[in-house]
Structure 1
């Protein structure tokens, strides 16, 4: 299993970096849309759709929805000040606050959505659609001035999330004693959680020194810490839905890593929350 995880990581990381820096906005949007369609395919299982045909239709409908939203945006890659983008990012902020409550009060909180496919589909919509627009909004950062500014931002968020996750794992292994959310994800501890946040803070400071991100250190730190918190919540939320669905992995697309959702669960929360804070709350556009 470890061998497959390492091989997949060595293949995927260069592909992700190449997509960030080499693809034009249109190509990047298409790739992100395909990733979101695959995520929607896997979310179908979390929503209770066991039929392959139903999940295919769900992925197609998600893809059509995102494609139509893209077509409604004139010059979408030049500006993120579009109602569709802003609504999606604000909705994400609201959804992850609600998701926090669902996780905190689980399994009691599951009583009102456990038997509703509609609600679980809405949760998926609120997870995947804002993630799509968060990716594109960050990629569009000052694109007219510097084609790579947005790529640096997205790379930063990804490194932040991966670093926080690695820090949490190491601190949890070394010092973990007190469970963070035993009813949702028994392996996570408070010590790992704090270690992950500390790692995120160090990454924020170091990356800010290396890359000219054109944001004050205080704003960067606030956005980074909240994004790191959101990444943990994204992981816990998917774990909660998988637990209810009775599955270990959302899929088997990536050898040794599970499904697409298993790899981007933290990013589905961190990316739109970070974009919302940076672009809409602090207005660093």
Structure 2
């Protein structure tokens, strides 16, 4: 299983980075929308939808939301300088949702009493998980796009680096040294040592980036932001585990060999992307 996971990751990671760096903005939007709509299909199972009509209805709502957000974007995107009320509001909703999601995870299983039996509530949670994250990635990719098409790509690359470093550090430290269960009611495999290992790997990544850039004065802010994002990425994983547990599923799907479903791979990304986009707008230094 581990060998299969590694082989799949070695194939998928270059493809994802190639899409981030080389696809035109509208093709990039379609590319990530396709991935997220597969995620919407998987989320429909979390909702307890068993008929094709209900599953397609949920996917259609997510797709139409993405289309509306993309349609109303200016022809020449200058985010985050140019105010875009709808997409910025969606980002804010995404950040608020993840604050709520963290509380739901921390209070599980008691918290599930308020939403586990409601198909519509779980569908709404899925919308808040998928649509703001898709919006965040699109907006980040559009940063200074018509001045330098690679600015947003490098920003997404850094976000992916944080998520991947947290995941890798969590595995390689948590697997041999993990003893203290983080939230066993949600995910028995997650340990405090694994989370600290992920944080350590991310701090090494931030240090490498800061060193390459000559340790700019914003470095301390970068460390703090990376710490928050790393912890949030862990809760993205835990949140999906919580929904899978309620739905009685081991994996969100089986589309990726050795990795399960799309949601199993982008859970941390959906949690971190909206806040990361907000941080880019606030401390990115764009004017």
TM-score relative to the length of structure 1: 0.94
CA 212–135 in structure 1, closer or farther in 2 if over 3 Å, else same: farther
Long gaps (5+) in structure 1: none
What is the rounded CA distance, in whole Å, between the counterparts of 2:77 and 2:236 in structure 1?
A: 27
> What is aligned with 1:56?
56
In the aligned structure 1, how far is the partner of 2:174 from the partner of 2:123? 33
Residue matched to 2:110: 108
d(CA) in 2 for partners of 1:184, 1:224: 24
Once residues 117 and 227 of structure 2 are traced to their aligned partners in structure 1, the CA distance between those partners, rounded to angstroms, is: 35
The match for 1:25 is: 25
Q: Take 1:24 and 1:42, find their aligned partners in 2: how far apart are those partners?
A: 27
SS in 2 for 1:262: helix
Q: Please state whether the residue corresponding to 1:180 is helix, strand or coil.
A: strand
Give how far 1:60 is off: 2.6
> What whole-Å deviation, never above 9, does each CA across 1:155-213 have from its counterpart, x for those lacking one?
11111111111111122123211110000001111111112112111111112333699
Cα offset, 1:68, TM superposition: 1.7
Specify every segment of 5 or more residues in structure 2 that has no aligned partner in the other structure, as ranges: none
Task: Report the equivalent of 1:246.
Answer: 248
Is 2:181 the partner of 1:179? yes
- Conservation of the 8 A alpha-carbon contact between 1:42 and 1:55: no
**Are the counterparts in 1 of residues 77 and 145 from structure 2 also a CA contact under 8 Å?**
yes
Residue 137 of structure 1: how far off its partner (Å):
1.6
Number of residue pairs the alignment of both structures matches: 284
Range moving further from structure 2, 179-188 or 45-54: 45-54
**RMSD across aligned positions (CA):** 1.9
How far apart are the structure 2 equivalents of 1:57 and 1:217? 45
Structure 2 CA distance for partners of 1:278 and 1:222, relative to 1, 3 Å:
farther
Kindly indicate whether residue 7 of structure 2 is the aligned counterpart of residue 14 of structure 1.
no
- Residue 79 of structure 1, CA deviation: 2.2
When normalised by structure 2's length, the TM-score is 0.93
Contact 2:180-2:192 within 8 A present in 1 as well? yes
Q: Give 2:91's match in structure 1, choosing from 78, 89, 92.
A: 89
SS in structure 1 opposite 2:49? Answer: coil
Structure 1 CA distance for aligned equivalents of residues 192 and 173 of structure 2 = 9
Are 1:284 and 2:250 an aligned pair?
Answer: no
What is the alpha-carbon distance in structure 2 between the residues aligned to residue 15 and residue 52 of structure 1? 31
Are the equivalent residues in 2 in contact too, given 1:92–1:130 (CA < 8 A)? yes
Separation of aligned partners in 2, 1:64 and 1:76: 22
Cα distance, 1:245 vs structure 2: 0.2
Over 3 Å counting, the alpha-carbon distance change for 1:107 and 1:213 in structure 2 is: same
**Superposition deviation, residue 52 in structure 1:** 3.5
Contact 1:25 1:77 in 2 (8 A): no
Residue of structure 2 equivalent to 1:36: 36
Work out the CA distance in 2 between the residues paired with 1:87 and 1:214.
Answer: 31
Distance verdict in 2 for CA 1:205–1:278, change over 3 Å:
same
* 8 Å CA contact 1:36, 1:63 repeated in 2: no
Deviations 1:124-171 (A, max 9, x none): 111101101110121112222211011111011111111111111122
Counterpart contact for 1:77–1:136, Cα < 8 Å: no
Residue number in structure 2 paired with 1:46: 46
What is the match of residue 150 of structure 1?
152
State the SS of the aligned residue for 1:224: helix
